[in-house]
Amino acid sequence: MGDITQLLQKWREGSRDAENELFTLVTPNLRRLAHYMMKSERKGHTMQATELVDQIYFRLVRARDRDWRNRAHFFAIAARAMRRYLIDHARGRPEVEIVALEGIKSSLPADSGKIDLAITVDRLLDQLAETKPEWCRIVEVKYFLGLTDDEAADALGMKLRTMQRMWLEARQWLFDQAEPNRAKQSAG
């Protein structure tokens, strides 16, 4: 997979051959990532994992001139793009029935908390990326890519214990930040 880092650099420099080879190499991993992310979506979702990969592929191609550091950075950005795409898709569902505010609580589906949680996590990861970008990358590769501790440490070029400590700290920060928001939601 070290080839991916080299291909990213050549692609950034404008090589169409590198772009074709790069996306041939990464597409199976992007599909696995999309399947993983779609598992947590609602039943009867209108989007399939293949469509998600296609949408993200177009976004990644437009970001060719980004400073791609390595394979882990590429997949972390892909995971973030997929997460945001799914959130935007959920926000913009055209088949959503408009309900008067008085009846809103009784009309919410049981899994609407997942959408709220995903939006909250998305917002928190944006905040986290500003202050602790390494924590944000760890959350993305561990939670959204589903990497094991060893895989995440390797992908991020960190010692295992360092990555585990940072993962624990990042989870604690997310929990601390999300709890006041959840308390406000349940009180409302």
The CATH number given to whatever domain includes residue 128 is 1.10.10.10
State residue 177's pLDDT score.
87
Q: Are residues 30 and 88 in the same domain?
A: yes
Provide the number of structural domains found in the chain. Answer: 2
pLDDT in tens, 110-127: 445 556 666 777 788 888
**How far is Cα 148 from Cα 1, in angstroms, rounded to an integer?**
17
> CA of 34: how far to CAs of 41, 54, 55, in Å?
11, 10, 11
Domain hosting 184: range is 100-188
- End position of a domain, from candidates 96, 127, 143: 96
State residue 180's pLDDT score.
63
Percent share of the chain, pLDDT over 70: 77
Of the listed ranges 31-40, 113-122, 177-186, the one predicted with least confidence: 177-186
pTM (two decimals): 0.56
State residue 158's pLDDT score.
86
* Cβ 150 vs Cβ 167: under 8 Å: no
pLDDT in tens, 133-180: 889 888 887 877 677 888 888 877 889 999 999 999 998 998 888 776
Looking at residue 23, its amino acid is F
State residue 166's pLDDT score.
94
pLDDT in tens, 13-28: 888 898 889 889 889 8
Q: Are residues 9 and 67 in the same domain?
A: yes
First to last CA, the chain: 49
pLDDT in tens, 50-83: 888 998 888 888 887 777 777 777 888 888 888 8
State residue 93's pLDDT score.
57
State residue 110's pLDDT score.
44
Q: Are residues 32 and 56 in the same domain?
A: yes
Q: Are residues 89 and 111 in the same domain?
A: no
Residue 106 clears pLDDT 80, i.e. is over it: no
SS3 at position 26: helix
Q: Are residues 105 and 77 in the same domain?
A: no
The backbone torsions φ and ψ at residue 95, rounded to the nearest 5 degrees and listed phi first, read -85, 5
Residue with tokens 């039943």: 43
- End position of a domain, from candidates 96, 120, 151: 96
Q: Are residues 169 and 134 in the same domain?
A: yes
- 35-41, long-range: CB within 8 Å, 24+ apart, which pairs? 36/144, 36/145, 36/146, 37/79, 37/82, 37/83, 37/86, 37/144, 40/114, 41/86
Q: Are residues 74 and 159 in the same domain?
A: no
26: domain CATH number?
Answer: 1.10.1740
Q: Are residues 21 and 55 in the same domain?
A: yes
- End position of a domain, from candidates 96, 118, 147: 96
Residue 2 clears pLDDT 80, i.e. is over it: no
